[in-house]
């Protein structure tokens, strides 16, 4: 087994009135929110896909089908925790997560530290292993018009040392 592997994930959701804006497990006050079968959190979904991709465990659609009523309006932090458990079960531990959120408004800077903490807690890793960056789309396209929010995530996993597997599971 190789020592380490990398995975990437991407997700995009529509922004619509009457839904909560949940990003990286944090509810952010805003008149519009994310449309989705779950809570729609594109940050959590991108990280889940990056985790599953790194361990070659498929993708979020296969792991958590949006046709399954069990996942209706579910807190996507639970999907994050479940994906990290699946990765740990294969003998991997998460070394770091790097996230870029594309969103025209609101500004995420006041919330990124909370998003880091929520993602780290769901994954059972230290906050120093998680990075959340945010940027606008310079007014371009559906993201620039405030109709959507997208997220890219990269995850590095490494072979878990036997003494640390329990830590990673939290």
Which positions lie near Mg ion, rule CB under 5 A?
11, 45
Gap between the Cα atoms of 121 and 113, Å rounded: 12
Nearer Cβ to Mg ion (103/160)? 103
Of 129 and 148, the one with the shorter C-beta distance to Mg ion is 148
Rounded to whole angstroms, what are the CA distances from 105 to 10, 102, 116?
A: 19, 9, 19
Q: Which is nearer to Mg ion, 11 or 104 (CB)?
A: 11
Task: Report the nearest approach of Mg ion to the CB of residue 43 (Å).
Answer: 9
Q: How far is the CB of 90 from Mg ion (least distance, A)?
A: 23
What is the rounded CA–CA span in Å between residue 158 and residue 115?
Answer: 23
Q: Which residue is nearest to Mg ion (CB)?
A: 45
Q: Which is nearer to Mg ion, 86 or 159 (CB)?
A: 86
CB of 144 to Mg ion, least distance (A): 20
* Cis omega (within 30 of 0) for bond into 6: no
Tokens representing residue 75 in the block: 């807190």
Q: How far is the CB of 115 from Mg ion (least distance, A)?
A: 16
Under a CB-based contact definition with an 8 Å cutoff, are residues 92 and 157 in contact?
yes
For residue 91, the minimal CB distance to Mg ion (Å) is 27
Q: Which is nearer to Mg ion, 5 or 45 (CB)?
A: 45
> At how many degrees (to 10) do helices 76-89 and 42-54 cross?
10
The candidate with the shortest Cα–Cα distance to 96, out of 12, 25, 4, 163, is 4
């Amino acid at each position: 087994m190789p020592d380490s592997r990398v995975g990437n994930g991407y997700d995009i959701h529509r922004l619509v009135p009457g839904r909560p804006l949940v990003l990286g497990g944090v509810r952010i006050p805003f008149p519009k929110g994310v449309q989705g079968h779950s809570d729609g959190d594109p940050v959590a979904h991108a990280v889940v896909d990056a985790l599953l991709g790194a361990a070659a465990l498929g993708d979020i659609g296969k792991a958590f089908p949006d046709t399954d009523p069990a996942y209706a309006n579910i807190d996507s932090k639970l999907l994050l925790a479940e994906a990290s458990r699946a990765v740990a079960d294969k003998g991997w531990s998460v070394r770091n997560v790097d996230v870029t959120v594309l969103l025209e408004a609101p500004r995420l800077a006041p919330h990124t530290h909370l998003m880091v903490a929520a993602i780290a807690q769901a994954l059972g890793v230290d906050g120093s292993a998680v990075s959340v960056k945010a940027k606008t789309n310079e007014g371009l396209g559906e993201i620039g018009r405030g109709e959507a929010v997208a997220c890219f995530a990269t995850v590095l996993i490494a072979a878990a040392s036997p003494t640390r597997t329990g830590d990673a599971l939290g």
